[in-house]
Amino acid sequence: MKIIGCLALFLFLAMPCAATAAQKPNILYLNSYHPGYKWSDDIIRGIQDGFERAGIPVHLHIESMDTKRCAEDEYFSQLCDLYAYKYSNVKFEIIISSDDSAFEFLKANRDKLFPGTPVVFCGVNYFDPESIKGYTQFTGVNEAVDIRLTLETALKIHPGTKKIYYISDDTNTGRKIKDKLSEAIPSFANRLEFISLCDMEMAQILDAVSKLPGDSLILYALFFKDKAGAFFEYDESMSMIAAKASVPIYGVWDFNLGYGMVGGMLTSGYYQGKEAAKIARRILKGENADSIPVVMKSPNKFMFDYTQLEKLGIRSSQLPAKSIIINQPHSFYEEHKRLFVAILAVILIQGLVIVLLVHNKRLLCAEQKKSRMLQKRMECILGATNTCLDIIDMNYNVRYVDPKWAEKYGPYEGRKCYDYFYDEPSPCKSCIVVDYIEKLGCMVAETELPKEDNRPVQVTSMLYVDENDEKLIAQAHIDISQRLLIEKELHRYQEKLEDKVKTRTAELAEANEHLLKEITDRKMVENLLSLEREQLLSIFDSINEVIYVSDPETYELLFINEAFKQNWGDGTGKKCYSVLYNGAEPCEFCTNKHIFGENTGNSFIWEVQNHTNHRWYKCMDKGIQWPDGRLVRCEIAFDITEQKKLETELLNARKLESIGTLAAGIAHEINTPIQFIGDNVRFLSDSARAMLNLINDFSDLLTYQLKKGSINVEQQAQQIREEVDLEFLESEIPLAIEQTLDGVERVSRIVNAMKDFSHMGSFVKVKEDLNKAVQTTATISRNEWKYVADLKLELDENLPLVNCMIGEIKQIVLNLIINAAHAIRDNHFGAENKGLITVKTSKEGKDAMISIADTGVGIPEEIRDKIFDQFFTTKKVGEGTGQGLAIAYSIVKKHEGKISFISEVGKGTTFFIRIPIE
């Protein structure tokens, strides 16, 4: 019965399902500053939370203008051109901007770049409603610090305060803050004295805050640049001042919290972004931006640092209500909240699974009953057809033949298919089923049955796996003799009709009857062809690899198989780049140019990672002719994700092997400077004791002579100096300190190089500095070559950044340097007879070139064509695995580059690596 069920599955295929994806609105976030700047990063987080917590999915496009580093008019003009080109085909529902630069840029260029698109701004310092008069579709959130409320809160916490020392820089924002402070100062008249620490260098500020009286506080606005022009990140300046300050620090921005500031009424980037997202949601629901008023009350929050509160002994009851306190210790439940939720979810899921299992049990019983009925029907249908159904294994053994044909052919147990059906002593020469069925899954062929008077049959074969995980082949031998007779008869009638048209025009009625019969026969043939087409489509759907056909002009998907639908849904009729890559326009790497035009008829094989399902595919593309006559692109994509993972693991293993190989040498390189650092430190320790003894002796001598009233001190002092050997110490101590610092620098340089080399880098190609990679690799491999060769670096300073996986490039350079050192070791003897390794980088056309030359033994002619083979090595057992050059070759090929060499026995070898820059 199971066999009958398998045959039924083979003959009748299920209809595919379709899936659609909802369109998400496009929203552009224009950030005045750069990624990594906490203020704008908090705004992005607030915007994202504002949409996600409201359950509104959006496509958020983020552009950072970087105006803290560059703000010239020419720069803004180029940004305008860039955005016009980049988003020429993108329609945004809303633009969200943060801070003044982006706001002013949109006022000047919105109508040119994104005409009619609503703008929601935030982070605009002390927004003036007059600034958007005459501009439509502009609304947003004001940013204004609340100095007065921060000071009032600080005075309640520290009631004995008499003086406020305020710190701010001379940037545009800093000057605005000083203006607002000037407005607030009169409200604290007769209570506080305000002293400025603004127009100073950082060193002066640090010295000043370390000496402040106990009845004072520090009001920190912001400090990115000091009087000397030195630039500080937000966390640097706050941390430096907090480390030296002798009194508590209060501020006005939340990004300084956590670096030594107590807190205050703080302006928050997160709440600015969240309020902007709230306005954007109203616009998405249909409200007109012009009807939504600007939020003039800046969404500031009382925020404090628990660490500073504990340090200063400030109780939470002293803080304003609803204050946000960061760095608080969490309760057991809060620390393990996710675990509690996970346990509860597991219990609920288990309950649901039990309910589903019970339900599925009932459904299974019903389906089993239906299956038994279907099997009986299939037996009746198969008994009424002139089709032979059989099953064979991968060794040609007949495992099943339907009863009707078993009566004709006899028992099949222990028989081979070629013997049972074709009276052949060995597998048929024309049979390729067993050889190719695992690759294709399903095959169709035509043959003749000798035992049936060479009756022609069509054999349809399909691979399946039974309940014992054994691979079997189900076959249907369909009698096509009638079809061939019909085709022959059709041909005869066509010839007969042509003769009658020429010679018997008078017998038109009879000819019409023959024509009608011909049409009937043709329809029969068309029906048979339609059936064959359905069988072909069934074969495609049974294949596990992704197959699709697309129009090269419109990019419309004309055909997709079941494997495609399982990955991306039913995309028939849609654009291939939209379904496969969520793209708005054709892919830059589209292969149409490789298979059409001059290349028509050629196949193109390539690899790609699909970012929608994060799988790697090896694709084979070819231009074919569609039934309507047009040329179309057919692609078969093989999933090679597991192969890619194995390649990565192999490279990581080789990396670890290289690090292990170099470990002893690096330890030696570090041990030498450490040893003389230790010797110098011990010498300095002894010298320090001698100097202290000298000082004590001088002190005792002066005290004694003063009491005695004698003035004969000089002779005794000279005697003490000679006992201590002060002249020796004066000459040797600076030298010992200089040597110690040099040793520390050498250790630091080696450790940093090892750290940089160990970092694998990105697993996708990114722009990297090739020169830096070569320098790092040369440093960590120094112990491999320093005793046998000198290493010379000739690096092209004008070499641009190269699009590559830098960890893999370092691996190539390391392998070749070590090989060069070993080759020189075999050709040179003694430190006075060192060889030379020369490493060069240069730009060659569109490629970056790395050459590594040595004066070693060279490569013999007879093995030059083998050196890139896996596991080929000329080294002794334990010195090499034969993987180094093979891995280098595969890495270069992965980068679409080339590796070559020239060699002369006894004089040396030079390897050349070319990597495309883009």
Tell me yes or no: is domain 1-144+267-298 CATH 3.40.50.2300.
yes
Sheet containing 59-64: give its strands across: 59-64, 26-31, 94-98, 119-125, 138-143
Angle at 676 between CA 675 and CA 680, to 5 degrees: 125
Q: Do domains 385-479 and 759-918 have the same CATH topology?
A: no
Find where tokens 């230790």 sit: 678
CA distance 772 to 779: 11
Got the DSSP string for 66-92? -TTT---HHHHHHHHHHHHHHTTT---
CA distance 186 to 196: 16
- Dihedral sign for Cα 208, 209, 211, 217, please: positive
Sort strands 631-639 and 615-625 into parallel, antiparallel or unpaired. antiparallel
Per residue in 779-808, pLDDT (tens digit) is 888 878 888 899 999 999 999 999 988 888
**Structure confidence at residue 698 as a pLDDT band (50, 70, 90):** low
Residue 10: what pLDDT?
41
Amino acid at 464: Y
Point out the least confidently predicted range of 209-213, 481-485, 757-761.
757-761
Over residues 730-744, mean pLDDT: 62
**Structure confidence at residue 16 as a pLDDT band (50, 70, 90):** very low
Tally Cβ neighbours within 10 Å of residue 518: 16
Of the candidates 777, 807, 791, 795, which has an alpha carbon nearest to the alpha carbon of residue 887? 807
Residue 911: what pLDDT?
94
Q: Are 43 and 10 in contact (CB under 8 A)?
A: no
Residue 389: what pLDDT?
81
| pLDDT of 346 strictly over 60 | yes
E strands present in 565-653: 603-610, 615-625, 631-639
* Domain locations in the chain as residue ranges: 1-144+267-298, 148-263, 331-383, 385-479, 485-539, 544-639, 640-758, 759-918
Tally Cβ neighbours within 10 Å of residue 130: 7
CA distance 884 to 871: 9
CA distance 502 to 913: 75
Residue partners of 486: CB distance under 8 A and separation at least 6 = 521, 524, 525
The token pair that represents 292 in the structure block: 């939504």
CA distance 535 to 112: 56
Query: Would you give the end-to-end CA distance of the chain in angstroms?
Result: 61
Helices (H) and strands (E) counted in the chain, each on its own, are 27, 29
Per residue in 511-523, pLDDT (tens digit) is 777 778 888 888 8
- Residue 715, helix vs strand vs coil: helix
- Residue 393, helix vs strand vs coil: strand
Sort strands 835-844 and 631-639 into parallel, antiparallel or unpaired. unpaired
Of the candidates 798, 855, 861, which has an alpha carbon nearest to the alpha carbon of residue 827? 855
Q: Are 390 and 422 in contact (CB under 8 A)?
A: no
Q: What fold does the segment set 148-263 form as a domain?
A: Rossmann fold (3.40.50)
Task: Kindly provide the b/e burial profile for residues 399-430, where b requires at least 16 CB atoms within 10 angstroms of the residue's own CB.
Answer: bbbbeebbeebeebeebbbbebbbeeeebeee
Residue 4: what pLDDT?
43
The token pair that represents 170 in the structure block: 């001379």
Angle between helices 99-113 and 73-86 (to 10 degrees): 50
DSSP class of 648: H
Tally Cβ neighbours within 10 Å of residue 664: 10
- Residue 323, helix vs strand vs coil: coil
CA–CA distances in Å: residue 277 to residues 104, 111, 324: 20, 22, 21
Rounded to the nearest integer, the mean pLDDT of the chain is 81
Tell me yes or no: is domain 385-479 CATH 1.20.120.420.
no
Q: Which long-range contacts (CB under 8 A, 24 or more apart) does 255-258 make?
A: 255/38, 255/39, 255/42, 256/220, 256/222, 257/303, 257/304, 257/305, 257/326, 258/305, 258/307, 258/326, 258/327
The token pair that represents 854 in the structure block: 């040595």
Residue 718: what pLDDT?
65
Which CATH code is given to the segment(s) 759-918?
Answer: 3.30.565.10
Q: Phi and psi dihedrals of 143, rounded to 5? A: -115, 120
Task: Kindly provide the b/e burial profile for residues 840-849, where b requires at least 16 CB atoms within 10 angstroms of the residue's own CB.
Answer: bbeeeeebbb
Over residues 676-682, mean pLDDT: 60
Residue partners of 433: CB distance under 8 A and separation at least 6 = 443, 445, 459, 461, 473, 475
Of the candidates 848, 841, 887, 845, which has an alpha carbon nearest to the alpha carbon of residue 868? 887
**Structure confidence at residue 12 as a pLDDT band (50, 70, 90):** very low
CA distance 788 to 337: 61
Q: Looking at per-residue confidence, does 372 or 319 come out higher?
A: 319
Point out the least confidently predicted range of 584-588, 642-646, 876-880.
876-880
Of the candidates 114, 122, 80, which has an alpha carbon nearest to the alpha carbon of residue 97? 122
Angle between helices 481-503 and 508-542 (to 10 degrees): 150
Residue 685: what pLDDT?
65
Q: Are 820 and 854 in contact (CB under 8 A)?
A: yes
Percent of the chain having pLDDT more than 90?
32
Angle at 277 between CA 274 and CA 283, to 5 degrees: 155
Sheet containing 263-266: give its strands across: 193-196, 163-168, 216-222, 249-251, 263-266, 301-305, 324-326
Residue 831: what pLDDT?
53
The token pair that represents 430 in the structure block: 């024309």
Q: Looking at per-residue confidence, does 276 or 565 come out higher?
A: 276
The token pair that represents 266 in the structure block: 């703080």
Point out the least confidently predicted range of 73-87, 314-328, 725-739.
725-739
Residue 15: what pLDDT?
34
Angle at 626 between CA 625 and CA 630, to 5 degrees: 75
* Largest Cα–Cα separation, the chain: 163
**Structure confidence at residue 5 as a pLDDT band (50, 70, 90):** very low
Question: Which residues are paired to 793 by β-bridges?
Answer: 839
Q: Looking at per-residue confidence, does 379 or 317 come out higher?
A: 317
Residue 786: what pLDDT?
83
| pLDDT of 18 strictly over 70 | no
| pLDDT of 811 strictly over 90 | no
CA distance 268 to 41: 11
| pLDDT of 641 strictly over 60 | yes
Half-sphere exposure of 298 (CA within 13 A, CB side): 24
| pLDDT of 743 strictly over 70 | no
The token pair that represents 696 in the structure block: 């004590």
Per residue in 538-561, pLDDT (tens digit) is 787 777 788 889 898 888 988 888
Sort strands 249-251 and 216-222 into parallel, antiparallel or unpaired. parallel
E strands present in 730-867: 766-768, 789-794, 802-804, 835-844, 847-854
Residue 196: what pLDDT?
92
Point out the least confidently predicted range of 533-547, 638-652, 816-830, 842-856.
638-652
Give the torsion through C-alpha atoms of 236, 239, 241, 242, to 10 deg. Answer: 170
Q: Looking at per-residue confidence, does 693 or 287 come out higher?
A: 287
Give the torsion through C-alpha atoms of 116, 118, 122, 128, to 10 deg. Answer: 60
Per residue in 559-601, pLDDT (tens digit) is 888 888 888 888 888 888 888 888 888 887 788 877 877 667 6
CA–CA distances in Å: residue 501 to residues 69, 495, 506, 508: 89, 10, 9, 8
The token pair that represents 588 in the structure block: 């830059």
- In what helix (H) or strand (E) does residue 583 lie, and over which residues does it extend? none
Find where tokens 């040797």 sit: 732
Class in CATH terms, 544-639: alpha beta
Residue 19: what pLDDT?
34
Amino acid at 320: P
E strands present in 683-785: 766-768
CA distance 409 to 676: 94
Percent of the chain having pLDDT more than 70?
79
Over residues 134-158, mean pLDDT: 93
CA–CA distances in Å: residue 841 to residues 23, 334, 797, 821: 48, 55, 9, 19
Sort strands 603-610 and 557-560 into parallel, antiparallel or unpaired. unpaired
